[in-house]
Amino acid sequence: MVYFIYLFFLGYLALSVVYLAVFAIAGRLGRADDKYQTGQQQDHKKIGVLIPAYKEDAVIVDSVRANLKQDYPADRFELIVIADSFQPHTLELLSTLPIRVIVVSFEVSTVAKAINTALAQIPDHQYDILVVSDADNHMAPDFLSRINAAFGQGWKAVQGHRVAKNTDTSVAVLDAISEEINNHIFRKGSRALGLASSIIGSGMAFDPVLMKTGMANLHTMGGYDKELEMNIVLSGNKIGYLEDAFVYDEKVAQQAVFENQRTRWIAAQWQFLKFYFRRGVTEFVNGRMSSAFKVIQALVLPRVILLGVLGLCTLLGLLGSDPILWRMPLLSLLILITSLIIAVPGYLWKRVTMREIMLVPVLMLRFARAIFNIRKAFKSFMHTPHTSSPEKPADPARVP
C-alpha cells in the first residue's frame, strides 16, 4: 500500500513537471500580445495609477518622482498613492508633488483593503484604465503608452513585464531569475496556448468596472491578485501579457526577507486552493480551460521545492531495489531543469556565478521552513520591506 501511495506521489511530481515543461516550450515558441509601435497616433485614455504602500517611507518619494516621468500626456494620467501607516514627514513631501494621496489605516493592513478603500472613492468613469504599481516600482517611460495602446485594441485586463531593477546580491539575482521564469511560463506561455496570462500584483492594468467587480469579494489575506485574476477569467475575460511594457521591481536582497515573502506567497496559494478548488474542478469538467488552469497552476509545487523533492526522491530510490523509484524522479528532475533553463533569458545568465548556484540549496531550506511558518501569514499581513530605491537597469531586452 505504501509503495502505491509513493508511486502516486511520484506521478503527481511528474505531472507538475510536465505542466511546467509544456508552458516553458510554449513560451519559447509563442508570442505575447504587444502591438504598440513607437510614435503611433493614440487616443489617450485617462489612466489612474494605484500605488498601495504600507510603511514605504524609504522608497515612495523617489518612486513617485520616477513614475511621473512618463512620455504620456501629464493631464491624462494621475498617480494615486494609498498611504498606509506613513510618517507625517513623508506625507508632507508627497503633498508637494502633483499626485493624489489617499491616507488609510486598518487594524490589520492588507493590500486588498488599501485598494478597495481607494476604489470606493473613485467614480467608475473618472478613469478609463486603472493601473496597479508597487511602492518600489519604476514604470518604464513608455509603460502607460503601451497599456493605453493595448486597451485601444480591446483588452480589458493586461499584465506588463515586471523585471528586476537590482541584482546586487546573490539572493536578488536568483529572485530576478524566478521572476523571469514566471513571466515566461505563466504569462507568455499561457498566452501562447490561448489561456489568460497570470497577473502578479503590480504592473497590471484593468477596466475600472471589471476591477471593482473582481475585487468585491476576496478571501485570502495576502493573495488578492490570484483571486482578482480568477474572478476576471470567470467573468469571461482574457488577460493579455505585454512583454515590452516594462516595470522595474526591487527584488529581495536578503535570505530572511526571501523566506518571509515566500511564507506569504505559500499561504496565499493555500488559501486560494481552499476557496477555488471545487470551482476549478467544475470549470474543468465543463471544458472552461482558462479558469480551470488557474487552479491547476496553484496545485503545482513551487519550483525550488520541486527541485529539492525530486532530488531527494532520486537519492532514496537509488537505495532501493526497484529501478522505477529512482528513474522516474530522475527523469522528472532532468526535464524540470531543462524547462527552467529554457525559461531564463540570456541577460540573466550573465549574472549567474558559482556563488548563486551554491545558494540554491540554502534557499530550498529557507523555502521549506517558510512552508512550516504559513500560519503566521494567516493571522497578519507579512509585509516585504523595501529599504532602497536603486536605479533601474537598462532595458533587459537590449542588455548584451
pLDDT in tens, 223-263: 789 999 999 999 999 999 999 999 999 887 777 767 777 77
Of residues 359 and 371, more confidence is placed in: 359
| Residue 59 and residue 171 in contact, taking contact as beta carbons nearer than 8 Å | no
Q: 399 or 58, which is more confident?
A: 58
pLDDT in tens, 270-308: 888 888 888 888 988 888 888 888 888 888 888 888 999
Lowest mean pLDDT, pick from 57-71, 142-156, 259-273: 259-273
Residues 77 and 178 in one domain: yes
Residues 237 and 285 both lie in one domain: no
Cα(173)–Cα(140) distance, rounded to whole angstroms?
Answer: 20
Whether residues 229 and 314 share a domain: the answer is: no
Q: Is residue 364 over pLDDT 90?
A: no
Place of cell 488578492: 224
**pLDDT at residue 221 tops 70:** no
Are residues 220 and 336 part of one domain? no
Residues 17, 113, single domain; the answer is no
Angular region, 218: left φ>0, alpha ψ -120 to 50, beta rest: beta
Distances (CA, A) of 343 to 29, 160, 192: 11, 17, 14
The number of folded domains in the chain is: 2
Q: Are 165 and 235 in contact (CB under 8 A)?
A: no
- Domain identity same for 217 and 139: yes
Residue given cell 502591438 in the structure block:
35
- pLDDT tens digits, residue range 367-395? 777 777 766 655 555 556 666 545 555 45
- Does residue 38 lie in a domain region? no
Average pLDDT for residues 352-375, to the nearest whole number?
82
243 and 302 in a single domain? The answer is no
Shared domain for 246 and 338, answered yes or no, is no
In a domain, 297, yes or no: yes
Q: Which residue has the cell 480551460?
A: 289
pLDDT reading at 350 higher than 80: yes
Distance between CA atoms of residues 292 and 372, nearest Å: 28
Residue 290 lies in a domain: yes
- Mean pLDDT value of segment 111-137: 93
Q: Where are the alpha helices (DSSP H) in 85-240?
A: 88-95, 111-120, 143-152, 170-182, 190-192, 208-214, 224-234
Same domain for 340 and 287: yes
Q: With 60 as the cut, is the pLDDT of residue 115 above it?
A: yes
- Check if the beta carbon of residue 246 is closer than 8 Å to that of residue 288: no
| pTM of the predicted model as reported, rounded to 2 decimal places | 0.89
For 243, counting Cβ atoms within 10 Å of its Cβ (0-12 exposed, 13-18 middle, 19+ buried), the class is: buried
Is 180 found in the same domain as 321? no
Q: How far is CA 49 from CA 102, 241, 296, 299, in A?
A: 12, 18, 31, 32
Per-residue pLDDT, 378: 53
Return left, alpha or beta for 137; rule: phi > 0 is left, psi -120 to 50 is alpha, else beta.
Answer: beta
Q: Are residues 173 and 304 in the same domain?
A: no
Full domain range(s) for residue 95: 47-251
The set of residues, in sequence order, having a beta carbon less than 8 Å from that of 181 and lying 6+ positions away, is 303, 340, 343, 344
